[in-house]
Chains A and B, each alone.
Chain A
């Protein structure tokens, strides 16, 4: 089956619109041919993961510089994942000089192509909010899962560097989740709950589903109450990290899953898996790679915190201070931080001993320089990557438990929290 190209796409491929667009089109047509796609499709926005020296290495920096040197310019709104180090004060955040130099080179190359420098893993809270049915070329796995699951937009988990090519020509390969026939449910997940999930259970559910589903599409029934978009952000991020979840049908929440029947379409479930409260407690125990009450860092904001979540931390602290024996960091993007400043909350938090880490992320910044042995978090995604990327043992808990640990300077047992 030959790949269909429009007249314009052929012209780009022939180099009639410059070297950068030709390069990008060569890459996309190679990818399209490799996966037997019929054609390319226009996308409304692109989100890049060529964002940090920590995960793209010298080759990623070189690739960005090579493509920038061809004169590349992005032709659709393009955002980018968190900055590879604290964007306000990388020196204070113990970033090694060589690392910082490479990060700045990478950022300069990407910036020269016209990226919107909104260093965030949550581009759906911003300038490229997708609409239902819209085609996207996004990379950040948690954002892809959110866009497909919560909004009903269509994106595959695009690949690093290929994402840059998508942004240059404003197109991606029509394959995978861009096609309706690949969006129906495969596995039935039955929540055996007679109450809404509590806050920590969203992260734990995502973590468990990622392990159970891999890259299969699950259909979740039995979710009660009104989960917030922050709850769903946490769930999607954990499932996209512990497995490869890009689309989860949550019946009654996912726009394409108003009913069980709609979610499965022509498919029959290949498997039905029940999840009980007991299972979730067991999952929570598996997520903890540390036993004991000592902790060095309490880190929240993976994905980056919204202003609502920052307000929540202020309220939970209720005037108390962080113990001097631990660090308590909140990761947030520039938008949430600006709002926290206007609302006077940043100062309140900093006076209480909380550190705001700007526009970056606990996983993809050089946090290992601090030598933390034990990190506590409310993020199911961070629990997955922490042992590898932060060289630390992980403790998972609700946001409230994280705040209580920060105040006490140790992980509290269940009965100790009032």
Chain B
């Protein structure tokens, strides 16, 4: 039986499967990652140098500049965005980035938060996960 975690759907989207990349540090997209490659450039971040492109990006909470949503859109425009974002508690800027990705580029970038457990400890980098944004569930695939 696979482990399933249920949270709150912050931004809905399509069902996807992918590889998780997990950080235990708050993250802001502006100054946080290269907008055309999805490589983490924040030198103080625990994922510095790694790519979030086509991954399920898991971190505790968002922070930072209000232009973060534009960075997310540039990731979407260049095909470098993550597949989904999972937070313990999401904040408005990245939530808006996910909403605008759908509205302006018709790209599904779902976001789920408020799980019953600390999602950054429940899932490990490299785990394969299945996200159902409508149900708000994350299944760890064996």
A30 near B99: Cβ-Cβ < 8 Å? yes
A-side contacts of B11, CB under 8 Å? 30, 34
* Interface size of A as a range: 35 or more
A26-B103 contact given A34-B11, A161-B96, CB 8 Å threshold: yes
- Chain A residues whose CB sits within 8 angstroms of the CB of B47 once the complex forms: none
Interface of B is mostly: helix
Please state if A161 and B69 are interface contacts (CB–CB under 8 Å): yes
CB pair B103 A23 closer than 8 Å: yes
Chain A residues numbered 116-132 whose CB sits less than 8 Å from any CB in chain B: none
Asked if B24 is at the interface (CB within 8 A of a chain A CB), the reply is: no
- Please name all residues of chain B whose beta carbon is closer than 8 Å to the beta carbon of A214 when the two chains form the complex: 63
**Residue pair B92, A160 in contact (C-beta under 8 Å):** no
Decide if A370 is an interface residue (CB 8 Å cutoff). Answer: no
Number of A-B contacts (CB under 8 A): 94
Looking at chain A's contact residues, is the secondary structure mostly helix, strand, loop, or mixed? helix
A186 within 8 Å of B by Cβ? no
Closest Cβ–Cβ distance, residue B81 to chain A (whole Å): 11
Question: Which chain A residue lies CB-closest to B76?
Answer: A59
**B23, CB-defined interface residue at 8 Å:** no
Q: Quick check: is A13 within 8 A (CB to CB) of the other chain? A: no
Which residues of chain B (48-62) have a CB below 8 Å from chain A? none
Max chain A Cβ within 10 angstroms of own Cβ: one of B64, B65, B67: B67
Residue B71 interfacial (CB < 8 Å): yes
Shortest Cβ gap from B105 to chain A (Å): 8
Q: B74, A35: Cβ atoms under 8 Å?
A: no
Q: Which of B64, B74, B96 contacts A162 (CB 8 A)?
A: B96
Pick out which of these stretches binds chain B: A50-58, A231-239, A290-298, A340-348. A50-58
A62-B77, A63-B104, A156-B92 in contact; A31/B70 too (CB < 8 A)? Answer: no
- The answer on a CB contact under 8 Å between B104 and A160 is no
**Judging by beta carbons under 8 Å apart, are B77 and A159 in contact?**
no
Question: Which residues of A are found within 8 Å of B35, using beta-carbon distances?
Answer: 57, 59
Chain A, 205-244, contact with B by CB distance < 8 Å: what is the 0/1 string?
Answer: 0000000001100000000000000000000000000001
Number of interface residues of B (CB under 8 A): 28
Closest to A241 in B: B65
Which listed residue (A26, A55, A58) contacts B77, Cβ 8 A?
A: A58
- Is B30's CB within 8 Å of the partner chain A? yes
In the complex the two chains form, is B10's CB within 8 Å of A49's CB?
A: no
Nearest-Cβ distance from residue A317 to partner chain B, whole angstroms: 34
Contacts of B104 in A (CB 8 A): 59, 62-63, 66, 161
CA distance A83 to B77 in the complex (A): 24
A154 within 8 A of B: no
- When distances are taken between beta carbons in the complex, the residues of chain B under 8 Å from A175 are 92
The CA of A187 and the CA of B9, in the complex, are separated in Å by 31
* Pick from B68, B76, B92: contact of A35, CB under 8 Å: B92
> Would A63 and B99 be within 8 Å (CB), given that A49-B67, A156-B92 are in contact?
no
Chain B residues with a Cβ under 8 A of chain A = 10-11, 30-31, 35-36, 63-71, 73-74, 76-77, 92-93, 95-97, 99-100, 103-104
Beyond the given A30-B11, A59-B73, A159-B69, could you list 11 further A-B residue pairs with CB under 8 A, ordered by the A residue number? A31-B99, A34-B10, A34-B11, A35-B95, A50-B70, A55-B65, A57-B36, A161-B69, A161-B70, A161-B100, A161-B104
- Would you mind naming 22 contact pairs between A and B with Cβ atoms under 8 Å apart? A23-B103, A34-B99, A35-B92, A55-B65, A55-B67, A56-B67, A57-B71, A57-B73, A59-B77, A59-B104, A60-B73, A63-B73, A63-B100, A139-B66, A140-B66, A157-B92, A159-B92, A159-B96, A160-B66, A161-B104, A162-B69, A388-B31
